[in-house]
Amino acid sequence: MKQITDITRPLSASARRARLVVMALLILLVTAAAISLMLGRYPINPLEAISMLAGLVAPIDQTWTDQQASLFFNVRLPRILLAMIVGCCLAVAGAAYQGTFQNPLVSPDILGASQGAAFGAAIAILLHVGSALTSVFAFAFALLTVLLVLLISSRARGNHMMIVVLAGVMVSSLFQAGVSYAKLIADPTDELADITYWLMGSLTGASTADVRMVLPFMLVGCGLLFFLRWRINILTMGDDEAATMGVNARRTRIAVIIAATLITAASVCVTGMIGWVGLVIPHLCRMLVGADYRRLIPASMLMGASFLLIVDDIARLATTAEIPIGILTAFVGAPFFLYLITRKKKI
């Protein structure tokens, strides 16, 4: 343990800078959340927002209307919470996958979880099972897709990591074809529109039930990744180096994949397909705190939460008709990633 600590210990100046960045990201998240609670078609002033939140802890004199309370607790607060936890999960899953597969172009949907969830949601929409069961179908198919990828890769020979990625691409393409077929046979008047809108990703209709459904899975997955963050540092050095340090690379990699898949599936099942968060945010965090996963994982969590929250604010306030959040993340993420890969300095 001492040997691992000595090898992975950052320079003191870098560590101090990373801690300051993480603190700044935490302040940014709290500020963005506080402002988001007050923004909307029906603005709520800061005093009313604070009073309503304080009323959850201790009884106080009501200075707000019942309509404001219903809007605040049933619509705005669940949506803001869901935006933060989904952004956190997608960003940290992307960072974990990139370190595990030692590939900077890896994103949370590399193993087909997003396409599997899309196929499950499409089936649920065709069956008219309701929004709650649609999320359950999406979550189940996302997990089944990754299990299928891991099963295929375990039966193939060669570079294990390369085979896992290739299996993920192939299985993802298979389920993408299934989604296309579902769109082909869907009723154009309602089912096709529902499938298309789900594929674009949105936080519209977020509810307390959605938060309660996915939060346990997200807490378990994010907690495991946070606990294993120093081991991901070792994985980036290669399996042989990990073995000399007493780390079982295969078991650690499987644990990281399971945790990252769990939070990706939980995120996609309630919001639809939201791209670029898990690809771009870890790269931006590396520019700020370095490649040490002990700092990168917390930074990715906080920045991912802030990013998706701010983008969702833009989605619901920029126009009278709400813009699907998946479109906005692509508008922001794609140009930024082009900037990253064209920079002269190596990241």
Handedness of CA 263, 264, 265, 269 (dihedral sign): positive
Of 85 and 37, the one with more pLDDT? 85
- Domains of the chain (ranges, CATH numbers): 2-57+66-342 (1.10.3470.10)
Count CB atoms within 10 A of the CB of residue 79. Answer: 23
Contacts of 11 (CB under 8 A, 6+ apart): none
Cα dihedral value 104, 343, 290, 29, nearest 10? -90
**Residues 188, 177: Cα–Cα separation, whole Å:** 18
Give the pair of three-digit tokens for residue 189: 């008047």
326-340 confidence digits (pLDDT tens): 889 988 888 877 877
Q: Quick: pLDDT tens for 33-76.
A: 989 988 877 777 777 777 887 777 777 777 777 788 888 888 88
Biggest CA–CA distance in the chain, Å, is: 68
Confidence band for 11, pLDDT divided at 50, 70 and 90: low
Query: Is 9's pLDDT higher than 70?
Result: no
Do the beta carbons of residue 232 and residue 256 sit within 8 Å?
Answer: yes
The pLDDT, as a whole number, for residue 330 is 87
- Angstrom distance (rounded) from CA 81 to CA 198: 20
Is residue 202 within 8 A of residue 326, CB to CB? The reply is: yes
Rounded CA separation 284/63 (Å): 43
Which tokens go with 253? 């990699």
Using alpha carbons, list the distances in angstroms from residue 143 to 107, 121, 215, 286, 305.
16, 13, 16, 29, 23
Of the given ranges (88-97, 160-169, 192-201, 307-316), which has the lowest mean pLDDT? 160-169
Percent of the chain with pLDDT over 90: 46
Conformation bin of residue 266: beta by default, left when phi > 0, alpha when psi is -120 to 50: alpha
Contact 182, 122 (CB under 8 A): yes
Tokens of 181: 């077929």
- pLDDT band with cut points at 50, 70 and 90 for residue 218: very high
The owner of tokens 């600590």 is 5
